[in-house]
Structure 1
Amino acid sequence: MISKPRDTLLSLAAAAALLLAPLSAAAFETAARSALVVDHATGTVLLEKDADVPLPPASMSKLMTLFMVFEALEAGRLSLDERLPVSQQAQQMGGSTMFLDTTDKVRVEDLILGVIVQSGNDACVVLAERLAGTETAFAQQMNVRARELGMLDSTFANSTGWPHPDHRMSARDLVRLSTLLIERFPQYYEYFSVREYDFDGRAPSNRYNRNPLLNLDLGADGLKTGHTEEAGYGLVGSAVQNGRRVTMVVTGLGSSQERVAESERLLTWAFREFTSRELFRAGETIATADVWIGAAGQVPLVAADAVTAVVPWAEKDNITTWVEYSGPIEAPIEKGQPVAELVVTVPGVGETRHALQAAEGVGRGGFMSKLQATAQVLMGRAMTAALGAGG
């Protein structure tokens, strides 16, 4: 472990952004219009192609509708057993539906399953009207919430993904949204793995979940397919193998068969070619940093969470780490204060950065500490002057 000071300490936000830098190892091609494959635990991008281009998402954008429904359930503004009326607009929706009509009063849980399994456009409209009064108002709320969530390449014109020139999402935003659904709503995320559902026996031909990954031996447990003539065939999926989760998106494929094959190929590659290594435990002392005019001359540095690296199998033993900080760090220092960064590099992969914090507090030093610091400064100036006088 190398520990070195530096002139400028990056912000935590910048460090988090760097975690999403794409890996350059193991070049891999895809026929998808855009694609993104991400290791869930670390946020490490394993593959990307045009991941920030806003494209028609088709029914994959129903994930945003579901996210807002789940937030309403969590806040108590909605309940799973609440029965909602079906408007004329909802009944008249085309495409995939639950075959609802205006005589129905449908439980929210049934509507959620209808959206996920049957990709019900009518169910989306019913939920949107309950939360915002109209689907147009709900779409406006979707746009506001998307910005708050950091989804900067997404705009919504409706709750369903119905073709519209202003309805767009990027692959990166779809992965970001999927990650939030997985982490924030584990109690509702289970709905995404339901393979068969038919509301009131009305749509026996439309009762199977369209996510093809659920039928493959990949550990898949979500999320959503999408298809329109404009968007092509797309899928955002997530799977777990040996405790490691990978989330991926493909868009713009030419057929449902190509969507199945490409999604399976990408997930298989991500699990086969990469592994994860825990480098440091949460709270483990990783290095020490020098302290300026403090009650102690150094402070131990730790990470709040375990530090894990995702690496190609061939490079799993070739990881390099060092610590950077702007130092010496001036006292006083509070316990838990972010003061440094751990830099992790893997040959052919790139670098990720992890925030480090002070493991303990360090108060201001007394008279002797100040005297020693002054002496160090004077000694440094003297050495500089002597070097300048030489030659």
Structure 2
Amino acid sequence: MRVSLWSKYVVVAVAAVIAVSVVRPAAAQLGQVETLARQMILMDYDTGTVIFDKNADELMPPSSMSKLMTALMVFEQLEAGKLRLDDMLPVSEKAWRIQGSKMFVPIGGRVKVEDLLRGVIIQSGNDACIVLAEGIAGTEERFSEMMTDRGRQIGLKNSTFRNASGWPDPQHLTTARDLALLARYIISRFPQYYHFYSEKEFTYGIDGATKKPITQGNRNPLLYKDGGADGLKTGHTEAAGYGLTASAKRGDRRLIMVFNGLKSMNERSREAERLLELGFSQFDNYKLFTAGAVVDEADVWLGDAPRVPLVIDRNLALTLPRQTKGNIKVTVSYENPIPAPIAKGTPVAKLVVANKDATLMEVPLLAGADVQQLGFSGRISAAVSYLLWGAKKQ
């Protein structure tokens, strides 16, 4: 049975082609956009809706954007109590010798975990990545295997990590979609550490020539703009081009953006601003239900209550273009009547959101109360009553 909630709960004009989901990531994009990036995705943080998408599932070298996974591994060690921010980790010769961007850790020295995290996140230090990897797993190779395994567990289906820093390796690959999902996971699970990504500079070590402290700035160009950006990580290698995984928040709404393959830092900065502005200005979120809301009631067959409330267990919102055409339809689908006994919290129905072309999402609805089955004589009486008069309203 399908019960329409269109007129009762929501009247929202929407585009004829949309793909949204709170239950699972959207498989298609809301809008079309031209971009110089080889790979790109722009995602709404709250709904998981993909607003723009270009080659988002194409394998690509993540370069230093893979340091997001390195940092996540450290965050989880901190949460589990296996590391502390004030722990001191030893610096190996391998870490000291690594080239590329560096924190300039001292060979044979020891560095505080909190400093190493800032070295990874703000300074993009390849040396800091190796110190953390060896401190957690013994070797960078073992740490890389752990990164790949953990990535699979949190939904990074197409990511393979061969080192902790993003150093070029033909098998060190990910996708724009995986990086967006990783950024979303970090922001939601570790708000206590997310502030590192918004810090604009970090000072560590002494310059041997000048004898002055070494201060390096965050490479994320959006942090220096007035657009709500507060993280995450840049990347660059010859093979990958210039890339960025970024997030910005304006009001109650947050977007996550990933792109790769641009030709210069200036191009990366301009494209980042442009894509975020399109996402915030042309799309918005529309709330349908809050967690715990009674969406509808369903008839009960042979129960000690004639009806059972149908409850949604999550906040439900849609990301939609502001300029829209057509309509969506919200219905509840369930077996009518629902046979007793019914246990509170049991999935007994579905909330279905669709447009004229396709089903956009399906969300389970739970029984909002226990309903016991009637005794034998009660069942006979209730069955006759239901067949004659239908469910009693209360």
Which amino acid is the alignment partner of residue 28 of structure 2? P
Tell me the equivalent position of 2:283.
Answer: 274
The answer to whether the 8 A contact 2:303-2:374 is kept is yes
Q: Which of residues 188, 192, 199 in structure 1 aligns to 2:197? A: 192
CA offset at residue 377 of structure 1? 11
The answer to whether the 8 A contact 2:304-2:372 is kept is yes
1:350–1:235 distance in 2 versus 1, CA, 3 Å: farther
The answer to whether the 8 A contact 1:296-1:362 is kept is yes
Aligned mates of 2:215, 2:102 — CA distance in 1: 8
Matches within 5 A, 1:160-239: 160-202=165-207, 207-239=216-248
Matches within 5 A, 1:356-367: 356-367=365-376
**Per-residue deviation, residues 329-356 of structure 1 (Å, max 9, x unmatched):** 3322221222222223467997233332
Aligned mates of 1:191, 1:316 — CA distance in 2: 42
Matches within 5 A, 1:103-142: 103-142=108-147
Tell me the equivalent position of 2:298.
Answer: 289
CA offset at residue 288 of structure 1? 1.8
- 1:246 aligned to 2:255? yes
Matches within 5 A, 1:1-391: 3=3, 18-24=24-30, 26-202=31-207, 207-315=216-324, 318-345=327-354, 351-367=360-376, 370-371=379-380
Aligned mates of 1:366, 1:232 — CA distance in 2: 72
Which amino acid is the alignment partner of residue 297 of structure 1? P
Aligned mates of 2:38, 2:165 — CA distance in 1: 21
1:192–1:300 distance in 2 versus 1, CA, 3 Å: same
1:329–1:23 distance in 2 versus 1, CA, 3 Å: farther
The answer to whether the 8 A contact 2:242-2:260 is kept is yes
TM-score between the two structures when normalised by the length of structure 2: 0.86
The answer to whether the 8 A contact 1:311-1:346 is kept is no
Aligned mates of 1:38, 1:368 — CA distance in 2: 57
Q: How many residues align?
A: 367
Aligned mates of 1:376, 1:18 — CA distance in 2: 42
1:244–1:368 distance in 2 versus 1, CA, 3 Å: farther
1:346–1:192 distance in 2 versus 1, CA, 3 Å: farther
The answer to whether the 8 A contact 2:38-2:259 is kept is yes
Structure 1 range deviating more: 346-355 or 28-37: 346-355
Q: What is the DSSP-based 3-state SS (H/G/I as helix, E as strand, rest coil) of the residue aligned with 1:300? A: strand
CA offset at residue 274 of structure 1? 1.0
Q: What is the DSSP-based 3-state SS (H/G/I as helix, E as strand, rest coil) of the residue aligned with 2:205? A: helix
Aligned mates of 2:381, 2:28 — CA distance in 1: 46
1:252–1:350 distance in 2 versus 1, CA, 3 Å: farther
The answer to whether the 8 A contact 2:331-2:351 is kept is yes
The answer to whether the 8 A contact 2:23-2:363 is kept is no
1:378–1:254 distance in 2 versus 1, CA, 3 Å: same
Show structure 1 runs of 5+ residues with no match. 5-14, 380-391
TM-score between the two structures when normalised by the length of structure 1: 0.87
The answer to whether the 8 A contact 1:23-1:349 is kept is no
CA offset at residue 86 of structure 1? 0.6
1:139–1:18 distance in 2 versus 1, CA, 3 Å: closer
Q: What is the DSSP-based 3-state SS (H/G/I as helix, E as strand, rest coil) of the residue aligned with 1:55? A: coil
Q: What is the DSSP-based 3-state SS (H/G/I as helix, E as strand, rest coil) of the residue aligned with 2:65? A: helix
Aligned mates of 2:154, 2:172 — CA distance in 1: 17
Structure 1 range deviating more: 79-88 or 369-378: 369-378
1:347–1:175 distance in 2 versus 1, CA, 3 Å: farther
Show structure 2 runs of 5+ residues with no match. 5-20, 389-394
Aligned mates of 2:299, 2:284 — CA distance in 1: 35
Q: What is the DSSP-based 3-state SS (H/G/I as helix, E as strand, rest coil) of the residue aligned with 2:193? A: helix
1:122–1:205 distance in 2 versus 1, CA, 3 Å: same
The structure with the largest helix share of the pair is: 1
Q: What is the DSSP-based 3-state SS (H/G/I as helix, E as strand, rest coil) of the residue aligned with 1:71? A: helix
1:232–1:306 distance in 2 versus 1, CA, 3 Å: same
Aligned mates of 1:100, 1:294 — CA distance in 2: 70
Aligned mates of 1:352, 1:261 — CA distance in 2: 34
Aligned mates of 1:281, 1:191 — CA distance in 2: 31
**Per-residue deviation, residues 223-269 of structure 1 (Å, max 9, x unmatched):** 00000011111111001001111111011122211211111111111
Aligned mates of 1:55, 1:373 — CA distance in 2: 63
Query: What is the RMSD of the two structures over their aligned residues, measured on CA atoms?
Result: 2.5
Aligned mates of 2:320, 2:300 — CA distance in 1: 34
Structure 1 range deviating more: 309-318 or 181-190: 309-318
